[in-house]
A and B are shown apart, each in its own frame.
Chain A
Amino acid sequence: MGFVGGHQQRGDLVLSAERSIHIVFALLIVTSLGIMNAFLTDQFQYWYVANYSNRDLDVFYKLSGLWAGQRGSLVFWAVLLAFFSSLCVFLNRRRNREFMPYVVGILQGILGFFLVVLLFAGVNPFEQLGFLPVDGAGLNPQLQNYWMTIHPPVLYLGFTAFSIPFAFAMAALLKGRTDSRWIVLSRRWTLVSWFFLANGIIFGMRWAYEELGWGGYWFWDPVENASLLPWLTATAFLHSIMIQENRGMLKVWNMSLVLLTFLLTIFATFLTRSGLIESVHTFAENTKIALIFLAFMGSIFIASVVLIVHRRPELKSENQIESFISREAAFLLNNLILLGAAFAILWGTIFPLVSEAFTGEKIAVGPPFFNRVNLPIGLVLLALTGIGPVIAWRRATKRNLKRNFATPVVAGGVVVAILLGLGARNGYALWTFGISTFVLTVIVVEFWKGTRARARIEGEGFFPAFLHLIARNRRRWGGYIVHVGVVLIFTAFAGRAFEQEIRKTMNPGETVTVASPFGHTYTLTYEGMSSSREGNFERWVALMTIQKDGEALGAMSTERRWYPSRETMTTEVGIRSTLVEDLYVILADVEDLQGMVANDPAAQRIVVQVMVNPLVGWIWYGGVILTIGSLIALWPAAEIRKRAGAGAMADSSQETLAGAAPA
């Protein structure tokens, strides 16, 4: 209806269409509340509630039952999608009217698809069992973790929000207004989506680190990869739109990127739901859903490509790349590299499927492949985060390069030299630390120079100048802060090269020692096992007291838990974090499990795995800084102010610019 309304300029149809979006949102809210209520009131006659909850389950996890399983999470996705659509329509009820009919039409289409899936793919969350069980099966204990609970919602917010930029892009194509207008309109939405995706991925990493108990946080699991792909292309997109805005280039590229990113968000949920690729993350296999999703992705792809090709004449670039050494070229390289990484990861993820289809042989591609391909790519990307902000537009001269890069490069070199002197030998880690130093130097100097220039020009003190500097150009300085966050995260990755790990069998009273790469030593003393009963589980806790270089530091524990309703045993690790490293203790084995369960005091012999994970915390701190930077970049500038007539403007502009023309 939106399309027809826009094409035939019929305002009544458009209004109808806009209302339908709001209504769908309202109805989906009702549905979601219904599901949450069913969980809270233990309505176990519903298959979905019975399989994901039980009476003893904490209220927090009952509420999150909405997205714990395939059916509920589809509703959850739909309600978030409807929320963003409704918000977009509402915010634009008087603005951007030439775009909105088409935007609405596209959003209706996407929403419609998800509703079709909900209704026709056998995933009714209200399906009844036919009898009323006494109690439910409870929630998988590994999902009973704070980070695991907020990780899907945040990620879904990121996925669904990207529908808006996509809708605006397609609307621009449909309407024929192919300049940068659609980019400016949807810029904030893109950043919002990117922001949620980044945080969602980081929360997932935090969950894996805390809950899966291997000391690692990323396994190149197909579903992990699927969530990373749209983030990579969205990052590329965020940068390439700056080129289109500033220099009028890459118009077809941006259209393609927005389409690709949107398709990847759908692909991500497709992969998780269809069970097509083996993963520890997937819901159970469902071919009906797989087919519907494939049909949807296929039609979107075809329709969008047709549109882009149709509008190709209007998408011509206004300028060209003048030099390989320029900001345009750096941004372009950034894009190509991000897409290269995305391609490599995608290929590695679906290769087993492809190979089986063509050769009949089953192949597995694991972390060695992904690490090998992505490490060099990551290093180049890291370097670019420092080059991009400072290299000149159009063409950078030798003078310009020397002026801006001499100090940071030297700084990086000095740090590498120091590390080499301290005995570090891991190639990739050294490169990472060196490049990270380079980037941080660039950014700090940028802030410094910018603040100083502003202080001089405006006659302000340093601190006010700093604040005004950022306020005047939030996107740029917020972006630099995001880069700082990214640098911290990459540096944290490099820390893994210096991990320490010790295994020991211990009786109560015995100690184990592990050395940190930062020079000190941790000594842990195993005090003994104790047991207790909590809400829906029983626990056996191994207590360890810690000493650092002889100084007492307190205690930490690691435990086994038994969830009777799920008949599952889990291990909870102990983590002690400092700014520079984590002490990570795993209760790897209990020699006499039966004895432990029976609370036999003699059954206290355990095997622990003690690890020192250097710099791991920098992932989380980096994430916080990334968040701050994004919020600054997102913050709306001062209100739109009305202008006097266009005529007066043209005159004064001519004056100012006449001063710039060569004499």
Chain B
Amino acid sequence: MRHGRFYVGLAGVALVVTYLVWTGISDSMVYYLTPTELVAKVAEDPAFHTVGVKVSGKVVPGSYDRGEGELVHLFSVHDIEHSEVTFPVVYDGVLPDTFTDEIEVVLEGRFGEDGVFQAKTLLTKCGSRYEAAPEELDDRGTTG
């Protein structure tokens, strides 16, 4: 084969990369759930308490409080669309500037057996970084 060495090299690197990607994804992928889905999953399979998950929800208005210790924050979340399922969250870290009541958040952490979500990371979603939200300026209902 004319380009034997080329193909061997290609195959070799492809194999290594595929291996890295495969194990990488299976080891580090996390489910991305709503609070309702999370509670349901945990009820189905109690072992799920030990698995890291990502949760997308909305902060329950008025639920925010400081916890004990520096930078410990307590609040509750429910689904973005409806508020039937809620659970409390404990987050240890710097609170994003945009954190307010009713803000949409993305949490990463574990859902403990005590029904409290221990969050390692907390991100807020404020629509889009580039788009303004104020409705007063947009009475046409168009988004850019």
Residues of A within 8 A of B (CB): 47-48, 50-52, 68-71, 122-123, 127, 129-131, 133, 136-137, 140, 142-143, 213-214, 275, 280-286, 317, 320-321, 323-324, 329, 332-333, 336-337, 340-341, 343-344, 347-348, 351-352, 361-366, 368-369, 372-373, 376-377, 503-505, 566, 568-571, 586, 588-589, 607, 609
Choice from B9, B13, B21, B131 contacting A348 with Cβ under 8 Å: B21
A364 touches B32 (CB 8 A): yes
- Given A69-B130, A281-B129: A372 touches B24 (CB 8 Å cut-off): yes
Please name all residues of chain A whose beta carbon is closer than 8 Å to the beta carbon of B94 when the two chains form the complex: 213-214, 586, 588-589, 609
Please name all residues of chain A whose beta carbon is closer than 8 Å to the beta carbon of B139 when the two chains form the complex: 129-131
Q: List 4 other contacts, CB 8 Å, given A47-B137, A133-B136, A280-B129.
A: A51-B138, A51-B144, A568-B97, A588-B71
A52 touches B71 (CB 8 A): no
B20 touches A372 (CB 8 A): yes
For the complex, is B85 an interface residue (Cβ under 8 Å from A)? no
For the complex, is B14 an interface residue (Cβ under 8 Å from A)? yes
Please name all residues of chain B whose beta carbon is closer than 8 Å to the beta carbon of A607 when the two chains form the complex: 70-71
Instruction: A47 to B140: give the CA distance in the assembly, Å.
Output: 10
Please name all residues of chain A whose beta carbon is closer than 8 Å to the beta carbon of B82 when the two chains form the complex: none
Instruction: A586 to B131: give the CA distance in the assembly, Å.
Output: 27
Choice from A140, A352, A588 contacting B130 with Cβ under 8 Å: A140
B30 touches A366 (CB 8 A): yes
B137 touches A129 (CB 8 A): yes
Closest residue of A by beta carbon distance from B54? A364
B70 touches A503 (CB 8 A): yes
A344 touches B32 (CB 8 A): no
A52 touches B54 (CB 8 A): no
Instruction: A282 to B129: give the CA distance in the assembly, Å.
Output: 7
Please name all residues of chain B whose beta carbon is closer than 8 Å to the beta carbon of A281 when the two chains form the complex: 129
Please name all residues of chain B whose beta carbon is closer than 8 Å to the beta carbon of A284 when the two chains form the complex: 127-128, 130-131, 143-144
Instruction: A376 to B13: give the CA distance in the assembly, Å.
Output: 12
How many Å from the CB of A247 to the closest CB on chain B?
12
Which of A127, A320, A323, A364 counts the most chain B CB atoms within 10 A? Answer: A364
Instruction: A65 to B31: give the CA distance in the assembly, Å.
Output: 38
B131 touches A321 (CB 8 A): no
Residues of B within 8 A of A (CB): 2-3, 5-6, 9-10, 13-14, 16-17, 20-21, 24-25, 27-33, 54, 70-71, 94-95, 97-98, 108, 123, 125, 127-132, 134, 136-140, 142-144
B25 touches A365 (CB 8 A): yes
B9 touches A283 (CB 8 A): no
Please name all residues of chain B whose beta carbon is closer than 8 Å to the beta carbon of A280 when the two chains form the complex: 123, 125, 129
Closest residue of B by beta carbon distance from A365? B29
Instruction: A513 to B9: give the CA distance in the assembly, Å.
Output: 52
A352 touches B32 (CB 8 A): yes
Instruction: A213 to B130: give the CA distance in the assembly, Å.
Output: 19
Please name all residues of chain B whose beta carbon is closer than 8 Å to the beta carbon of A140 when the two chains form the complex: 129-130, 132
Q: List 24 A-B contacts (CB under 8 A).
A: A51-B138, A137-B132, A140-B130, A143-B129, A214-B94, A281-B129, A285-B143, A320-B6, A329-B5, A336-B14, A340-B13, A344-B21, A347-B25, A364-B29, A364-B54, A364-B108, A365-B25, A365-B29, A366-B108, A369-B27, A376-B20, A377-B20, A503-B71, A586-B94
Instruction: A363 to B27: give the CA distance in the assembly, Å.
Output: 12
- Given A129-B139, A317-B3, A369-B28: A337 touches B129 (CB 8 Å cut-off): no
A47 touches B21 (CB 8 A): no
A340 touches B144 (CB 8 A): no
Please name all residues of chain B whose beta carbon is closer than 8 Å to the beta carbon of A52 when the two chains form the complex: 132
- Given A69-B130, A283-B128, A570-B97: A589 touches B70 (CB 8 Å cut-off): yes
Instruction: A93 to B2: give the CA distance in the assembly, Å.
Output: 41
Please name all residues of chain B whose beta carbon is closer than 8 Å to the beta carbon of A286 when the two chains form the complex: 143-144
A275 touches B128 (CB 8 A): yes
How many Å from the CB of A661 to the closest CB on chain B?
28
Please name all residues of chain A whose beta carbon is closer than 8 Å to the beta carbon of B32 when the two chains form the complex: 352, 362-364
Please name all residues of chain B whose beta carbon is closer than 8 Å to the beta carbon of A332 when the two chains form the complex: 6, 9
Closest residue of B by beta carbon distance from A137? B132
A51 touches B137 (CB 8 A): yes
Instruction: A331 to B25: give the CA distance in the assembly, Å.
Output: 28
Closest residue of A by beta carbon distance from B133? A137
Please name all residues of chain A whose beta carbon is closer than 8 Å to the beta carbon of B17 when the two chains form the complex: 340-341, 343-344, 373, 377
Closest residue of B by beta carbon distance from A135? B137
Please name all residues of chain A whose beta carbon is closer than 8 Å to the beta carbon of B134 when the two chains form the complex: 51, 137
Please name all residues of chain B whose beta carbon is closer than 8 Å to the beta carbon of A48 when the two chains form the complex: 144
Closest residue of A by beta carbon distance from B55? A364
How many Å from the CB of B94 to the closest CB on chain A?
5
Please name all residues of chain B whose beta carbon is closer than 8 Å to the beta carbon of A142 when the two chains form the complex: 129
A133 touches B137 (CB 8 A): yes
How many Å from the CB of B67 to the closest CB on chain A?
12
How many Å from the CB of A660 to the closest CB on chain B?
28
Closest residue of B by beta carbon distance from A351? B25
Instruction: A136 to B29: give the CA distance in the assembly, Å.
Output: 42
Instruction: A130 to B17: give the CA distance in the assembly, Å.
Output: 55
How many Å from the CB of A62 to the closest CB on chain B?
15
- Given A284-B131, A340-B16, A369-B29: A69 touches B144 (CB 8 Å cut-off): yes
- Given A51-B132, A137-B137, A372-B28: A571 touches B97 (CB 8 Å cut-off): yes
Closest residue of B by beta carbon distance from A44? B137
Instruction: A86 to B5: give the CA distance in the assembly, Å.
Output: 43
Closest residue of B by beta carbon distance from A250? B6
Closest residue of B by beta carbon distance from A133? B137
Please name all residues of chain B whose beta carbon is closer than 8 Å to the beta carbon of A123 when the two chains form the complex: 144
Instruction: A607 to B17: give the CA distance in the assembly, Å.
Output: 43
